[in-house]
């Protein structure tokens, strides 16, 4: 049986990793209808990817007549 007080303590503990323990994060994006890792892009496509502008569309206001 698991001691919940110990499990809660472990869940709240801060985790720190050294650089040797870290792994690179692979970024994927959708290109021309399919997903590809950015690491497989050629130099020009990598440049285009980094120049992309991201936006958040806000909710449209309700129209009252």
pLDDT in tens, 7-64: 566 667 788 889 999 998 999 988 778 899 999 999 998 999 899 888 888 888 877 7
CA angle 42, 48, 54 (to 5 degrees): 140
Answer whether residue 37 is part of any domain. yes
Per-residue model confidence (pLDDT) at position 6: 61
Answer whether residue 13 is part of any domain. no
The structure tokens listed for 26 are 């692979």
Answer whether residue 41 is part of any domain. yes
Answer whether residue 39 is part of any domain. yes
Answer whether residue 56 is part of any domain. no
Answer whether residue 4 is part of any domain. no
Parent domain of 34: 24-49
**How many domains would you assign to the chain?**
1
How many angstroms separate the CA atoms of 49 and 52, rounded?
Answer: 5
Answer whether residue 64 is part of any domain. no
Per-residue model confidence (pLDDT) at position 7: 59
């Amino acid at each position: 049986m698991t001691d919940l007080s110990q499990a809660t303590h472990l869940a709240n503990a801060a985790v720190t990793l050294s650089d040797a323990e870290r792994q690179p994060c692979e970024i994927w994006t959708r290109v021309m209808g399919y997903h590809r890792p950015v690491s497989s892009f050629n130099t020009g496509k990598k440049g285009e990817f980094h120049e992309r502008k991201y936006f958040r569309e806000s909710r449209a206001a309700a129209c009252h007549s």
